[in-house]
C-alpha cells in the first residue's frame, strides 16, 4: 500500500497526470474536427507539458537547493530531463510554421517562472508572470487553449472557422472552471495580493460563477455547425462531473481532490468520447 501511495504521489508530482489531461484535450480537438490521430503533435504536447510544468514548479527549488535535493525531487529532475529529450525529438518532427507558433507559448512558460520583468508590477518577491495579481488563472487558460485547440489544428493545416473559435472560447472557460477548486484549495496558502477569484469574491460566489460558466459553455455548444450525439453526451456528463467537483470543493480538501480527481476531468471526457463514439 505504501508503495502504491508513493507511485501515485510521483505520478502527480512529476506532472504525468496534468500532461495526460492536456493530451486528452488535444486529442478531443482532433476527434471533434475529424482530424486523424497525430502521434507527433500529441506526444510533443504530452512531453512538453511535463517539461514545462516541472520547470515552473521546481525551478526555484532546484536553483537554490541543488546540492541537498530530496530523493523524490532528484527523481523528478531526471524524469523531466528524459521528457525534455523526448519533447525535442518530437519537436524536430513538426513543420517550421508550427515551431514558430510553439515558441510563443514557450516564451510565456519561461516568463511565467523566471523573474525578468520590472518589479513594480508584481505583488511578491518572485517577479514572474504568475505573481501578477489576478493573472495566473487566465495565463494558464490561454496557454492550454492555444496548445489543445489551435496547435493540433494548425499543425494539420486545418482552416480556422467559426466552430474552431467557439471551441477555443469553450476551452478557455473550461480550463478556468477546472482551476477554481485549486484556487479554493490554495486560499490558505496564497498571498492576499495575488487577487485570486476566491480571494476577491469568496468561496460561495466562486462556486456560483463556476456553475454559471458551465451553463454558458454548454449552451454555446449548440452554436456550432457540426454536432454529434456522442460528442454532446460525453460533454454533458463531463460538465456534470465538473459541477459536482466544484460544488464539493473546499479550502481544507484532501490532497488528491484537486490534484487527481479535478485534474482528471479532461481524461474522463476523452474516455467518454471514445467509448460513446
Contact criterion met (CB below 8 Å) for 13 and 52: no
Contact criterion met (CB below 8 Å) for 158 and 36: no
pLDDT in 10s for each residue of the chain, 277 residues:
888 888 999 999 999 999 999 999 999 999 999 999 999 999 999 999 999 888 877 765 554 445 545 677 888 889 999 999 999 999 999 888 888 888 877 777 666 655 544 444 444 454 445 555 567 788 889 989 999 999 999 998 898 999 999 999 999 999 999 999 999 998 877 655 567 888 889 999 999 999 999 999 999 999 999 899 999 999 999 999 999 999 999 999 998 999 999 999 999 999 999 999 8
Intra-chain end-to-end CA distance of the chain, in Å: 36
Contact criterion met (CB below 8 Å) for 76 and 10: yes
- Please return the burial class of 62, using the count of CB atoms within 10 Å of its CB with bins 0-12, 13-18 and 19+: middle
**Cell matching residue 82:** 528524459
Instruction: Please give the residue range of the domain that contains residue 52.
Output: 1-62+69-276
Domain count, the chain: 1
- Interior angle at CA 39, CA 108 and CA 92, nearest 5: 55
Whole-angstrom Cα distance, residue 159 to residue 154?
8
DSSP sequence for 102-158: HHHHHHHHHHHHS--S-GGG-SSTT-SGGGSTTTHHHHHHHHHHIIIIIHHHHHTTP
Instruction: Report the candidate in 225, 220, 217, 219 with the shortest Cα–Cα distance to residue 242.
Output: 217
Amino acid at each position: 500500500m505504501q508503495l502504491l501511495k508513493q507511485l501515485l504521489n510521483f505520478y502527480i508530482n512529476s506532472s504525468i497526470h496534468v500532461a495526460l489531461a492536456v493530451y486528452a484535450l488535444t486529442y478531443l480537438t482532433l476527434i471533434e474536427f475529424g482530424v486523424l490521430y497525430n502521434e507527433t503533435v500529441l506526444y510533443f504536447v504530452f512531453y512538453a507539458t511535463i517539461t514545462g510544468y516541472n520547470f515552473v514548479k521546481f525551478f526555484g527549488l532546484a536553483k537554490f537547493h541543488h546540492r541537498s535535493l530530496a530523493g523524490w525531487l532528484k527523481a523528478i529532475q531526471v524524469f523531466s530531463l528524459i521528457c525534455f529529450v523526448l519533447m525535442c525529438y518530437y519537436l524536430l518532427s513538426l513543420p517550421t510554421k508550427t515551431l514558430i507558433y510553439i515558441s510563443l507559448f514557450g516564451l510565456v512558460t519561461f516568463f511565467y517562472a523566471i523573474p525578468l520583468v520590472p518589479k513594480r508590477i508584481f505583488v511578491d518577491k518572485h517577479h514572474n508572470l504568475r505573481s501578477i495579481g489576478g493573472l495566473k488563472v487566465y495565463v494558464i487558460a490561454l496557454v492550454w487553449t492555444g496548445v489543445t485547440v489551435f496547435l493540433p489544428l494548425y499543425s494539420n493545416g486545418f482552416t480556422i472557422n467559426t466552430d474552431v473559435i467557439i471551441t477555443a472560447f469553450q476551452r478557455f472557460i473550461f480550463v478556468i472552471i477546472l482551476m477554481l477548486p485549486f484556487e479554493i484549495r490554495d486560499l490558505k496558502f496564497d498571498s492576499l495580493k495575488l487577487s485570486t477569484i476566491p480571494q476577491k469574491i469568496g468561496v460561495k460566489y466562486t462556486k456560483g460563477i463556476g456553475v454559471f460558466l458551465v451553463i454558458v459553455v454548454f449552451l454555446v455548444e449548440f452554436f456550432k455547425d457540426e454536432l454529434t450525439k456522442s460528442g454532446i453526451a460525453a460533454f454533458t456528463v463531463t460538465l456534470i462531473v465538473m459541477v459536482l467537483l466544484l460544488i464539493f470543493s473546499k479550502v481544507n480538501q484532501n490532497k488528491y481532490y484537486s490534484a487527481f480527481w479535478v485534474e482528471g476531468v479532461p481524461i474522463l471526457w476523452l474516455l467518454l468520447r471514445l467509448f460513446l463514439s
